[in-house]
Amino acid sequence: MSRKTGLLLYTPKDAERNRWFIEQLCAYAEAEGLSLRLCLVENGNPFVPFRQHPEAAFLINRSRFGGISDYAENRLHIPCFNSRYVTGITNFKYMTYLELHCDHGVPMAKTQQISMHKPLPELTYPLVAKPQNGHGGEGVAWIENAEQLEAYRAEFNAAHLEPTYPFLVQEPVVPGWDVRVYVLSGEIYAAVLRTSAVDFRSNFSLGGHAEVIEPDAEMRELVAQVQRIMPLDFAGVDILKRSDGSYLLGEIEDAVGCRMLYQLTDKDPARDFIRAVAQALRSR
């Protein structure tokens, strides 16, 4: 019986940073009777990967380009991990807010888009500014007043090729605290509390402290609420906290990083993710 061939999509920058994890994914795919081909993509052109690999029978998309997954599912009718719905929504923070909070009532911090050229709306400070599609804490800033926000807007505008590209502002939550809940095949796989005493961002990649925790009932219900709306194959659900102790959804990391799991646990997320993919393919 011939092996099913799947494509593993990464951007060149992310592939270089995740070389070891990619090797693990490919090796475990072979062990599961699959053939996984790395395909580097620099933009969201959906045709390039499948012109190079027309035999592809499934897609693991860690490039964050939702259009490629959309083409794979709708035009080629091949399964994607995560689905086109997850990748298409979660890699744009405002779309996540509209879909999960505004349409389905998932608790999230109040979020607004800020135009590059229109006058600033009436806002309550302090607040947090961030790009639409950032990850790892990149481009996130604590803003104390309108002057700082104007400076952030000018800097953001200079850094982007599309001058009308909006960014987001959010009401602040408890700084330097979040929980990343890893979800695998719809179930909680692990949870890591991330804290920082020196930065309002708690990202592990920015030097925050991380420890494995057992998520409490409220955290579990928040993850379950997300999962009922948006089934996740393998993703990170980031939970924030208000000053009153209640939890909020921060964001969902589609191409979730696994360094914390390898450093803090004896889990093998590459192995377990590929096993889940193989099981899902066998059940189709």
Q: pLDDT tens for residues 142-183?
A: 999 999 999 998 888 776 645 556 889 999 999 889 999 999
User: Could you identify the residue written with the tokens 């604590």?
Assistant: 142
- Res 199 pLDDT > 80: no
Instruction: Tell me the pLDDT of the chain averaged across its residues.
Output: 91
Alpha-carbon gap, residue 10 to 179, rounded angstroms: 25
Domains of the chain listed by start with CATH number: 4-89 (3.40.50.2300), 110-170 (3.30.1490.20), 174-270 (3.30.470.20)
Distance of alpha carbon 240 from alpha carbon 246, whole angstroms:
9
Please, what sign has the CA dihedral across residues 236, 230, 177, 221?
negative
In this prediction, residue 160 carries a pLDDT of 61
- Give me the percent of the chain exceeding a pLDDT of 90: 76
CA torsion through residues 197, 203, 205, 211, sign = positive
Tens-place pLDDT, residues 30-62? 999 999 999 999 987 888 899 989 999 999 999
pLDDT at 156: 80
Write down the pLDDT at residue 209. Answer: 86
The answer to whether residue 198 scores a pLDDT higher than 80 is: no
Q: Cβ contacts of residue 194 below 8 Å, gap of 6+?
A: 177, 178, 179, 180, 202, 203, 204, 208, 209, 210, 260
Give this prediction's pTM. Answer: 0.91
Which pLDDT value is given to residue 111? Answer: 95
Confidence (pLDDT) at 75: 95
Q: Rounded mean pLDDT of 245-251?
A: 96
pLDDT for the residue numbered 177: 92
The confidence band for 201, taking pLDDT boundaries of 50, 70 and 90, is low
What integer pLDDT is reported at residue 115 of this predicted model?
81
Q: For residues 255 and 143, what is the distance between their CA atoms, to the nearest angstrom?
A: 28
What's the rounded mean pLDDT across residues 199-209? 59
* Per-residue confidence (pLDDT) for residue 242, from 0 to 100: 94
Helix H or strand E segment including 67: helix 66-74
- In angstroms and rounded to an integer, the radius of gyration of the C-alpha atoms of the chain is 19
What CA–CA distance (Å, rounded) separates 168 from 140? 10
**Are 124 and 147 within 8 A, CB to CB?**
no
Express as a percent the part of the chain with pLDDT over 70.
93
